[in-house]
């Protein structure tokens, strides 16, 4: 493949922001080799030193905030209001990244006999290849890069080619700052799936960290399996795979349930609900997608939500009052139309929305925030449930379903193949404990504000939302545990 | 021949025991299991043998009433292992209110004393009470030595209440006495302390010295009744129980006895007050036997603890009348100190199992014994008295001390003076926190660590001190450009200051001004010191909702 040029367009105006050269398989392989060679430069520093460097880099991000925000808005279509959050999550994360050290401190173990010869230490896993999604031009790719840097892994990060400029800018800021160990980090600008294949076939890459849909993640495993198959050596009469294991970490889709019980201030919760569901036009994995409302307050709550939704302003994402920016791609617009059309086949009531602005181009595309009723009985057999219930709506269409009781709300929330987050609003203290226990998701938010940027906010999911399952912090996923039994003090006399 | 005349008086009680074992056993077999209580006897739970629970004790008492019972050292030791907590009474279904085993043990101990089985260590305590008016063999004149200007507190004539400190708080747990006095003063209560406060004699009764106890009770009541103030507040649950219950037979006065928690509960009904913990904690409450089971005060301490903002109140499983004893009661702390500590460990384990950070008690004896029984790996788990936790959360007015010596620049002096107006900015930090404020001429200077001028703010117990130069071991450095400071000192209120401060951090500019900070300690440590809260109040961490 020969080198090609990518045109990055403003998602609202269609204006070309920049033309950048793309990588080829050869340049990607060369980058991997280079960062691998320089990995030791990272490991010459300890965790605390690397944490301090990232903390200082957070200051640079703050100084460049205005410029970065404008770039995020232009190439990502994110409203400028929301781009603040996009930067805050990563600049706070970097500023306080030493906080993660608590998860990787040496652990001294005490044996049953009370001896203390064994311990667990955490070591960097090795070179990581990361793939970031389109909805977050800065936070996720930079977080992937930073987490690897923090633990001492060389890393190559592939931002989405729909919006790579902010990440390129951040990387060059790190270069300008002469960040120690920057030679062990790189970014890959590669359109299409072939870049992933280049990553997984390379033996130097030990960790593959990808944020994508669950289906894309499974596709990647299939490619890896094919490569494994191809690597079989039969010269000794038995098949031996020459391609080594890799660690795969997938952050995938969310189809989060948000439960609203009958004992809450509906106006307040509706306000948070609309933020949680429609921020960034709902193009957010942890967005509240399946709204489940107790029957006794259902009608009143729908009214409150619609009132809040009507306040959402859409249009030019540079306008500080705009809440809903253009969609990231025509594919998303089509998906929203398909999901709403499919729901109509089930006689679903469309409470509001289901209108689009289609410029006929690949920019300036809008889908009006939409709320669709899905009847609870349709959710019993998942294979027959509406598409909107079964799959992640990565755009501004949300479903709302009536629950008979709190047990029914739990049943509905768990009727999904996904399990990233689950959100509950109730003032019943006893039930809160049951929700915490029974909801099938890796992250449970009870009566919490949406869009928290707190450093404790975890990623991860169960079911099809993440692999390996569970709530996680990236730095924790990028190290392995080493067990050390050192009985020198006890046995030196004997073995000398 | 030894005569057990006191025990004999209760032979009907001894006969009525059906030996069901509800006073000691556990699990589903226990008829009282449905009351969510198991293993009620704290002594049996440690020592294991039947002889130490109520059923066993009653069997032994039955035996001694028969002829030819020989008293040996083992028997004497056994007689003083009961904490007399009364937990067994609560689970006993033999008669209404349960068989009163503590009463039987008191009777036995009286018989032992009457028959001249007097233990040396008990005799020493008796002598100390006679000579020094306290059981600790401490000089009487040092009773209030822990108080500065104790004299100022002796004006009983003009006081509304008498605060009866007690021997344990005067000589051992002075921390509780001081916390109580400071708390009452802070709340503006007009109280006084008795110059000739005497031992309540609780320990005499627990050891069976009934005659001596009676004498002391009468003289204490006479002395108290002479005072113009009739309302007595006890911070010690042991003293309260003694005055309220054990003195009953000798008391013909109209004196009113309250525990500190009862008094405060009433007081806050008409004087609402906010208590706020600096860092969020999970709080548990240990019911002292003398306050709860014996006197019936369960609600008041709970009401008070629920006033604490920034805390979660967690009940232990064994609570109220089914609460497990701390192990110090019935004279066990002085007779069998190791046993007392083992019992305390069990009680602490119940709190640790619930992930409680602070276990609060309302009795100096419980606090002392539970604190002795904190396991090594308890990760900061604490036992405190209710007066201490309330006192600690009093919103004290912070004052500032500033010394300008050695400050180079005018802007630095002005900023120090400016901050001096608002010591409350630092109220979330724990005492001992020390942070640098460093001023830079330019951002390049900051990167090259060329400080233009600096001072540090030391959070003290009751205020802050603003001191020129950097601290020797600062927790963190707040770096500010001189342009930022010039604008910050123009602000007219604390709120405006916080807003501007936050803006300079979140939207810094080389020309207009900037703020940054460098952490010199572990992030987690700094959060625990209160810096997270400080940053939030200072506008550095944005309110998430506003960010949207």
CA B117 to mean position of chain CA atoms = 36
* Positions in chain A short of pLDDT 50: 1
Q: How many CB atoms lie within 10 A of CB B163?
A: 23
> Is the Cβ–Cβ distance between B104 and B61 less than 8 Å?
yes
**Helices and strands in chain B: count of H runs, count of E runs:** 26, 14
pLDDT at B544 over 50: no
Q: Determine contact: B525 vs chain A, CB below 8 A.
A: no
Q: Over the range B462-471, which residues count as b (16 or more CB within 10 Å of their CB) and which as e?
A: ebbbbbbebb
Q: Which fold has domain A256-455?
A: Aldehyde Dehydrogenase; Chain A, domain 2 (3.40.309)
Q: What is the mean pLDDT of residues B462-467?
A: 88
Task: Choose the mutation target among A46, A62, A321 for the interface with B, i.e. most B CBs under 10 Å.
Answer: A62
Assign domain B266-392 one CATH number from 3.40.50.720, 1.10.3470.10, 3.40.50.1370, 3.40.50.1860: 3.40.50.1860
- Judged by CB atoms closer than 8 Å, whether chains meet at B519 and A92 is answered as no
pLDDT at B376 over 90: no
**Which of A81, A96, A454 is closest, CB to CB, to B548?**
A81
- Judged by CB atoms closer than 8 Å, whether chains meet at B544 and A62 is answered as no
**Which of A55, A65, A85 is closest, CB to CB, to B507?**
A65
Q: Determine contact: B196 vs chain A, CB below 8 A.
A: no
- Judged by CB atoms closer than 8 Å, whether chains meet at A62 and B545 is answered as no
pLDDT at B413 over 80: yes
CA B220 to mean position of chain CA atoms = 27
pLDDT score, position B546:
43
pLDDT score, position B39:
84
Paired tokens of B153? 């507190």
> Is the Cβ–Cβ distance between B434 and B458 less than 8 Å?
yes
The residues pairing with B434 across neighbouring beta strands, listed in sequence order, are B458
pLDDT in tens, B29-73: 445 444 456 788 999 989 989 999 999 999 999 999 987 888 999
Listed in order, strand segments (DSSP E) in A64-193 are 107-109, 118-124, 128-131, 155-158, 185-187
Q: Which fold has domain A5-252+473-482?
A: Aldehyde Dehydrogenase; Chain A, domain 1 (3.40.605)
- Judged by CB atoms closer than 8 Å, whether chains meet at B541 and A55 is answered as no
DSSP structure class, residue A350? E
Q: Where are the alpha helices (DSSP H) in A188-254?
A: 194-201, 214-230
CB pairs under 8 A between A and B: 46
Residues of B in contact with A176 (CB under 8 A): none
Q: Determine contact: A81 vs chain B, CB below 8 A.
A: yes
Nearest-Cα residue of chain A relative to residue B503: A62
Residues of A in contact with B510 (CB under 8 A): 63
pLDDT at B354 over 50: yes
**Chain A nearest CA to B507, separation (Å):** 6
**Which of B443, B514, B544 is closest, CB to CB, to A453?**
B544
Residues of B in contact with A63 (CB under 8 A): 443, 508-510, 514
Nearest-Cα residue of chain B relative to residue A102: B524
> Is the Cβ–Cβ distance between A164 and A17 less than 8 Å?
no
Residue B156 has φ and ψ, to the nearest 5°, of: -65, -35
Scan for tokens 């209160």, then name that residue. Answer: B530
Residues of A in contact with B443 (CB under 8 A): 63
Q: Determine contact: B269 vs chain A, CB below 8 A.
A: no
pLDDT score, position A1:
47
> Is the Cβ–Cβ distance between B285 and B312 less than 8 Å?
no
**Which of A82, A99, A454 is closest, CB to CB, to B524?**
A99
**Which of B508, B545, B547 is closest, CB to CB, to A84?**
B547
Q: Determine contact: A452 vs chain B, CB below 8 A.
A: yes
Q: Determine contact: A448 vs chain B, CB below 8 A.
A: no
Higher pLDDT, B186 or B379: B186
Q: Determine contact: B449 vs chain A, CB below 8 A.
A: no
pLDDT score, position B26:
53
Nearest-Cα residue of chain B relative to residue A56: B518
Secondary structure percentages of chain A, helix, strand, coil, to 5: 45, 20, 35
Question: Of B398, B404, B391, B401, whose CA–CA distance to B425 is shortest?
Answer: B398
What's the mean pLDDT when you consider all of chain B? 90
How distant, in Å, are the alpha carbons of A352, A371, B176, B302 from that of A303? 11, 11, 56, 42
Instruction: Return the axis-axis angle of helices A80-95 and A47-63, rounded to nearest 10°.
Output: 150
Q: Determine contact: A63 vs chain B, CB below 8 A.
A: yes
pTM score of the predicted model:
0.70
Average the pLDDT over each of A386-390, B171-175, B278-282 and give the range with the smallest value.
B278-282
Assign domain B399-547 one CATH number from 3.40.525, 2.40.128, 3.40.1350, 3.30.1050: 3.30.1050
pLDDT in tens, B117-133: 999 999 999 999 999 99
- Judged by CB atoms closer than 8 Å, whether chains meet at A275 and B547 is answered as no
The 8 Å CB, 24+ separation contacts for A12-18 are A12/A74, A12/A77, A12/A316, A12/A317, A12/A318, A12/A325, A12/A326, A12/A363, A12/A364, A13/A363, A13/A364, A14/A359, A14/A361, A14/A362, A14/A363, A14/A364, A17/A71, A17/A74, A17/A75, A17/A165, A18/A165
Q: Determine contact: A271 vs chain B, CB below 8 A.
A: no
Q: Over the range B305-329, which residues count as b (16 or more CB within 10 Å of their CB) and which as e?
A: bebbeebeeeebebbbbbbbbbbbb
Taking the domains of chain A in order of start, what are their residue ranges?
5-252+473-482, 256-455
| Ramachandran region, residue B156 (left: φ > 0; alpha: ψ -120 to 50; beta: rest) | alpha
pLDDT score, position B36:
52
Q: What is the mean pLDDT of residues B148-165?
A: 93
pLDDT score, position A230:
94
pLDDT score, position B533:
85
**Chain A nearest CA to B547, separation (Å):** 7
Chain A residues 101-120 with CB within 8 Å of chain B: 101-102
The reply to whether omega before A343 is within 30° of 0 (cis) is no
Residues of A in contact with B514 (CB under 8 A): 63
Task: Choose the mutation target among B354, B478, B513, B516 for the interface with A, i.e. most A CBs under 10 Å.
Answer: B516
Q: Which fold has domain B138-264?
A: Rossmann fold (3.40.50)
**Chain A nearest CA to B522, separation (Å):** 7
Q: Over the range B477-489, which residues count as b (16 or more CB within 10 Å of their CB) and which as e?
A: bbbbbbbbbeebb
Question: Of A440, A451, A444, A411, whose CA–CA distance to A426 is shortest?
Answer: A444
Residues of B in contact with A102 (CB under 8 A): 524
pLDDT score, position B405:
65
pLDDT score, position B100:
95
Rounded-to-integer distance, Cα A296 and Cα A136, Å: 38
> Is the Cβ–Cβ distance between B442 and B511 less than 8 Å?
no
> What is residue A461's three-state secondary structure?
strand
Q: Determine contact: B185 vs chain A, CB below 8 A.
A: no
Paired tokens of B15? 């006969």
pLDDT score, position B333:
93
DSSP structure class, residue B324? P
Q: Determine contact: B519 vs chain A, CB below 8 A.
A: yes
- Judged by CB atoms closer than 8 Å, whether chains meet at B509 and A63 is answered as yes
- Judged by CB atoms closer than 8 Å, whether chains meet at A452 and B544 is answered as yes
């Amino acid at each position: 493949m020969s080198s090609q040029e990518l045109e990055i367009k403003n998602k609202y105006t269609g204006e070309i922001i920049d033309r950048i050269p793309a990588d080829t398989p050869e340049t990607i392989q060369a980058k991997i080799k280079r960062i691998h060679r320089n990995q030791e430069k990272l490991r010459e520093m300890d965790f605390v030193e690397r944490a301090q460097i990232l903390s200082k880099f957070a200051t640079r991000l703050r100084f460049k905030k205005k410029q970065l925000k404008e770039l995020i808005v232009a190439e990502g279509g994110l409203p400028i209001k929301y781009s603040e959050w996009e930067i805050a999550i990563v600049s706070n994360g970097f500023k306080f990244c030493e906080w993660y050290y608590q998860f990787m401190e040496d652990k001294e173990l005490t044996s049953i006999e009370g001896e203390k010869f064994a311990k667990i230490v955490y070591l960097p896993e090795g070179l990581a290849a990361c793939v970031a999604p389109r909805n977050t031009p800065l936070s996720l790719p930079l977080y992937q890069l930073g987490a690897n840097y923090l633990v001492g892994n060389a890393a190559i990060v592939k931002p989405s080619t729909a919006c790579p400029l902010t990440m390129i800018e951040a990387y060059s800021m790190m270069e300008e700052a002469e960040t120690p160990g920057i030679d062990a980090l790189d970014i890959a600008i590669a359109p299409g799936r072939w870049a992933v294949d280049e990553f997984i076939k390379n033996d130097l890459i030990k960790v593959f960290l990808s944020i994508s849909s669950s289906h894309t993640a499974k596709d990647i495993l299939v490619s890896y399996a094919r490569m494994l198959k191809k690597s079989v050596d039969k010269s000794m009469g038995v098949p031996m795979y020459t391609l080594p294991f890799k660690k795969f970490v997938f952050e995938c889709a969310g189809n989060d349930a948000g439960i609203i019980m009958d004992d809450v201030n509906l106006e307040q919760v509706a306000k948070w609900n609309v933020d949680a569901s429609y921020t960034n036009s709902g193009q957010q994995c942890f967005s509240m997608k399946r709204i489940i409302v107790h029957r006794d307050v259902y009608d009143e709550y729908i009214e409150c939500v619609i009132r809040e939704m009507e306040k959402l302003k859409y249009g030019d994402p540079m306008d500080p009052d705009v809440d809903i920016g253009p969609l990231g791609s025509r594919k998303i617009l089509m998906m929203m139309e398909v999901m709403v059309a499919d729901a109509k086949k089930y006689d679903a009531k469309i409470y509001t929305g289901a209108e689009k602005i289609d410029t006929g181009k690949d920019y300036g595309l809008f889908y009006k925030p939409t709320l669709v009723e899905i009847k609870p009985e349709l959710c019993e057999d998942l294979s027959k449930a509406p598409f909107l219930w079964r799959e992640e709506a990565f755009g501004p269409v949300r479903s709302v379903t009536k629950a008979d009781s709190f047990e029914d709300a739990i049943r509905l929330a768990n009727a999904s193949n996904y399990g990233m987050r689950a959100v509950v609003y109730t003032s019943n203290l006893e039930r809160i404990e049951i929700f915490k226990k029974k909801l099938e998701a890796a992250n449970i938010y009870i009566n919490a504000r949406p869009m928290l940027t707190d450093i404790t906010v975890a990623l991860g999911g169960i079911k099809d939302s993440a692999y390996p399952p569970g709530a996680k912090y990236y730095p924790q996923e990028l190290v392995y545990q080493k067990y050390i039994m050192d009985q020198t003090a006890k046995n030196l006399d004997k073995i000398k | 021949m030894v005569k057990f005349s006191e025990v004999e008086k209760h032979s009907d009680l001894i006969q009525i025991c059906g030996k069901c074992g509800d006073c000691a056993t556990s699990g589903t077999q226990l008829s009282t299991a449905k009351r969510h209580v198991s293993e009620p006897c704290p002594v049996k739970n440690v020592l294991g043998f039947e002889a130490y629970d109520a059923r066993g004790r009653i069997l032994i008492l039955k035996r001694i009433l028969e002829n030819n019972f020989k008293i040996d050292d083992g028997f004497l030791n056994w007689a003083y292992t009961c904490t007399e907590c009364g937990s067994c009474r609560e689970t006993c279904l033999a008669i209404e209110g349960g068989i009163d085993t503590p009463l039987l043990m008191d009777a036995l101990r009286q018989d032992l004393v009457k028959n001249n089985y007097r233990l040396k260590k008990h005799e020493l305590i008796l002598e100390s009470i006679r000579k020094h008016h306290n059981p600790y063999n401490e000089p009487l004149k040092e009773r209030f030595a822990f108080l500065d200007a104790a004299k100022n507190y002796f004006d009983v004539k003009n006081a509304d209440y008498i605060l009866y400190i007690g021997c344990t708080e005067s000589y051992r747990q002075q921390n509780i006495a001081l916390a109580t006095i400071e708390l009452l003063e802070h709340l503006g209560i007009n109280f006084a302390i008795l110059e000739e406060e005497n031992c309540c004699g609780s320990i005499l009764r627990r050891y069976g010295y009934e005659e001596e106890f009676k004498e002391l009770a009468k003289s204490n009541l006479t002395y108290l009744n002479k005072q113009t103030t009739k309302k007595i507040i006890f911070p010690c649950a042991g003293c309260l129980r003694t005055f309220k219950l054990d003195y009953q037979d000798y008391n013909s006065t109209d004196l009113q006895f309250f525990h500190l928690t009862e008094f405060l509960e009433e007081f806050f009904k008409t004087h609402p007050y906010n208590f706020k913990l600096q860092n969020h904690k999970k709080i548990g409450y240990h019911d002292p036997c003398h306050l709860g089971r014996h006197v019936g005060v369960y609600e008041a301490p709970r009401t008070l603890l629920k006033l604490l903002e920034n805390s979660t109140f967690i009940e232990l499983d064994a609570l109220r009348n089914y609460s497990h004893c701390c192990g110090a009661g019935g004279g066990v702390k002085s007779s069998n100190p190791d046993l007392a500590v083992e019992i305390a460990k069990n009680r602490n384990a119940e709190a640790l199992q619930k992930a409680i950070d602070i276990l609060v008690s309302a009795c100096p004896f419980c606090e002392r014994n539970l604190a002795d029984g904190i396991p090594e790996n308890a990760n900061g788990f604490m036992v405190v008295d209710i007066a201490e936790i309330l006192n600690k959360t009093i919103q004290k007015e912070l004052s500032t001390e500033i010394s300008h010596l050695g400050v180079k620049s005018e802007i630095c002096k002005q900023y120090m003076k400016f901050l001096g107006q608002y010591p409350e900015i630092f109220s979330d930090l724990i005492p001992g926190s020390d942070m640098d404020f460093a001023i830079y001429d330019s951002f390049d200077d900051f990167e090259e660590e060329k400080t233009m001028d600096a001072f540090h703010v030391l959070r003290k117990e009751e205020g802050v001190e603003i001191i020129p130069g950097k601290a020797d071991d600062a927790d963190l450095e707040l770096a500010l450009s001189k342009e930022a400071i010039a604008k910050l000192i123009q602000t007219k209120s604390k709120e405006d200051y916080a807003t501007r401060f936050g803006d300079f951090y979140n939207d810094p500019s080389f020309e207009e001004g900037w703020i940054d900070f460098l952490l010199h300690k572990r992030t987690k440590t700094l959060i625990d010191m209160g810096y997270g809260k400080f940053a939030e109040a200072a506008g550095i961490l944005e309110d998430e909702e506003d960010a949207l």
